[in-house]
């Protein structure tokens, strides 16, 4: 772990300790923000971009549906075999060279593709379900500005403590000029971000920042429609579905994930941010089906599985006097200050963004001791009497990804996400039907 990574995590730990065990849902990415000279690429021919969409309706976006939140997505969810979301990247990092940023974005796209290969660690032919494409890179660095962050970055400058990013400003007409995408059908004016999303030109936004304590951003924010049990969105209800959010951000009618990349760190750290956004989507209950099964898979239901355990997960275990040890592969002993809780007949399911199946504390990638886990067989029922197979599991399972995503929880998260129910998965829901592929939910 880099020294800056260690400092960021210690700050996260202290903030959580002050804010209670629910604070992890709104995790600060310390150092995400700051000032820039305009260096934008030419306005893309967005009509040509749309014309390039697939005629094949098993690929999304396509010529029938291309915008986040289309009801078409829910209605054709099970037919989709490939998603090629368009990505808008905005750089506000004054000090980071452009070649570094280009490589960072390319490596992130590659890691996300790898992580969407269903059980790719055991199937070399597993296809990548998520194949992000770069719609535009908007470079807002300012030559000669000594500050780490561009002055073009939207801040709530009156906010002196806590999160101070003005996420709503990304959607403003004033910021549209910074994005630089012209609408030739309307006198050449610039399209706002919400219009880019409405047209299906942009499906996700990442912004890059150098470490700057004056800017305090969430890792990912997203407003998402509230769906019912039949995957029908409510006509007017929406929820915060990232790992935090700006209460002043206005609902534009379609979901959009905005992720903050600390350009001084690596791809594993942003992969962790995006994984927290998946946590946030489940916790928001925007899609009840997803919440139901993700919480089981990701060990966010321990209080239900073990009646005397006081928390849904191990996330409250911040601090040196808190953690887990495994005296044998099927027992977890949880220490919380002077109190201990013994979970007998313990089998880890899928683990979560901070805790692999044998995790002893937050961010523990180094435990070589084995525990029983069903992560590679969860809800597949391929064991005796139709039960999931629990096998001895160690960190060797994700060792192959230590080079591709070496920082933060990156190597674990690629493997973890490969075990999500993906396209053609083997998992079953409560009714015994094939589990829905989780990846399309990202763009509901």
Q: Of 16 and 218, which is predicted with more confidence?
A: 218
* Res 25: pLDDT: 33
Q: Partners of 136 in the beta sheet? A: 88
pLDDT band for 41, please (50, 70, 90 cuts).
low
Q: Residues 396-415: what's their mean pLDDT?
A: 97
Nearest to 207 by CA among 196, 191, 197, 219: 219
pLDDT band for 45, please (50, 70, 90 cuts).
confident
- Per-residue pLDDT for 292 more than 60? yes
Distance CA 442, CA 39 (A): 31
Q: Residues 150-178: what's their mean pLDDT?
A: 96
- Per-residue pLDDT for 311 more than 90? yes
Q: What would the pLDDT profile of 201-239 be if each residue is shown by its tens digit?
A: 999 999 999 988 899 999 999 999 999 999 999 989 999
- Per-residue pLDDT for 359 more than 50? yes
Residues above pLDDT 70, as percent of the chain: 91
What does the chain come to in residues? 444
Q: What would the pLDDT profile of 273-286 be if each residue is shown by its tens digit?
A: 999 999 999 999 99
Q: Of 269 and 307, which is predicted with more confidence?
A: 269
Q: Partners of 434 in the beta sheet? A: 428
- Per-residue pLDDT for 43 more than 80? no
* Res 21: pLDDT: 36
pLDDT band for 42, please (50, 70, 90 cuts).
low
Q: Residues 368-383: what's their mean pLDDT?
A: 96
* Res 34: pLDDT: 28
Q: Residues 359-385: what's their mean pLDDT?
A: 96
* Res 46: pLDDT: 87
CB within 8 Å of 338: residues ≥ 6 apart: none
The whole-angstrom distance between residue 69's C-alpha and the CA centroid of its chain comes to 17
Distance CA 394, CA 290 (A): 27
pLDDT band for 329, please (50, 70, 90 cuts).
very high
Q: Residues 250-278: what's their mean pLDDT?
A: 97
* Res 185: pLDDT: 81
Tokens coding 292: 């139901």
* Res 187: pLDDT: 77
Residues above pLDDT 90, as percent of the chain: 86
- On average, the pLDDT of the chain sits at 91
Least confident of 10-14, 38-42, 195-199, 348-352: 10-14
φ, ψ (nearest 5 deg) of residue 366: -110, 0
φ, ψ (nearest 5 deg) of residue 267: -75, -30
Q: Mind spelling out the 3-state secondary structure of the chain? A: CCHHHHHHHHHHHHHHHHHCHHHHHHCEEECCCCCCCCCCCCCCCHHHHHHCCECCCCEECECCCCCCCCHHHHHCHHHCCEECCEEEEEECECCCCHHHHHHHHHHHHHHHHHHCECCCCCCCCCCECECCEEEEEEECCCCCCCCCECCCCCECCCCCCCCCECHHHHHCHHHHHHHCCEEHHHCCEECCHHHHHHCCCCCEEEEEECCCCCCEEECEEEEEEEECCCCCEEEEEEEECCCCCCCCCCCCCCCEEEEEEECCCCHHHHHHHHHHHHHHHHHHCCCHHHHHHHHHHCCCCHHHHCCCCCCCCCCCCCCCCEEEEEEECCEEEEEECCEEEEECCCCECCCCCCCCCCCCCCCCCCCCCCEEECCCCCCCCCCHHHCCCCEEECHHHHHHHCCCCCCCCHHHHHHHHHCCCCCCCCCECCCCCECCCCHHHHHC
């Amino acid at each position: 772990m880099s020294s800056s990574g260690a400092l960021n995590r210690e700050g996260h730990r202290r903030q959580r300790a002050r804010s209670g065990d629910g604070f992890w849902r709104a995790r600060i990415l310390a150092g995400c923000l700051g000032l820039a000279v305009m260096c934008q690429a030419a306005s893309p021919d967005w009509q040509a971009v749309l014309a390039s969409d697939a005629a094949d309706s098993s690929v999304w976006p396509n010529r029938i549906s291309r915008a986040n939140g289309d009801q078409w997505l829910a209605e054709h969810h099970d037919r989709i075999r490939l998603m090629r979301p368009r990505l808008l990247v905005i750089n506000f990092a004054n000090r980071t060279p452009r070649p570094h940023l280009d490589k960072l974005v390319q490596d992130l796209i590659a890691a996300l593709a790898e992580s969407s290969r269903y059980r790719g660690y055991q199937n070399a032919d597993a296809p990548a379900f998520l194949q992000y494409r770069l719609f535009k890179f908007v470079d807002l660095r300012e030559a000669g500005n000594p500050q780490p962050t561009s002055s073009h970055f939207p801040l709530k400058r009156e906010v002196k403590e806590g999160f101070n990013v003005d996420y709503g400003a990304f959607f403003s007409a004033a910021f549209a000029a910074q994005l630089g995408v012209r609408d030739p059908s309307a006198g050449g004016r610039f399209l706002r971000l919400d219009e880019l999303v409405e047209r299906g030109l942009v499906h996700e936004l990442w912004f890059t920042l150098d470490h700057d304590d004056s800017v305090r951003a969430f890792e990912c924010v997203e407003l998402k429609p509230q769906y019912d049990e039949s995957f029908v969105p409510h006509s007017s209800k929406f929820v915060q579905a990232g790992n935090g959010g700006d209460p002043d951000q206005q609902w534009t009618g379609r979901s959009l994930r905005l992720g903050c990349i600390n350009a001084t760190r690596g791809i594993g750290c942003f992969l962790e941010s995006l994984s927290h956004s998946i946590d946030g989507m489940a916790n928001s209950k925007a899609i009840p089906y997803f919440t139901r099964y993700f919480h089981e898979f990701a060990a966010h239901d321990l209080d239900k599985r073990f009646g005397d355990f006081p928390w849904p997960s191990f996330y409250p275990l911040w601090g040196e006097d808190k953690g887990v040890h495994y005296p044998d592969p099927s027992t977890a002993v949880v220490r919380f200050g002077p109190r201990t809780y013994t979970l007998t007949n313990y089998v880890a399911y899928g683990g979560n963004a901070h805790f692999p199946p044998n995790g002893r504390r937050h961010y523990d990638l180094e435990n070589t001791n084995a525990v029983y886990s069903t992560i590679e067989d969860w809800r597949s029922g391929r064991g005796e009497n139709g039960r999931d197979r629990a096998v001895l599991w160690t960190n060797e399972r994700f060792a192959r990804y230590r080079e591709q995503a070496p920082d933060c929880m990156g190597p674990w998260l690629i493997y973890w996400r490969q075990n999500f129910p993906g396209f053609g998965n083997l998992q079953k829901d409560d009714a015994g039907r094939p589990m829905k592929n989780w990846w399309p939910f990202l763009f509901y």
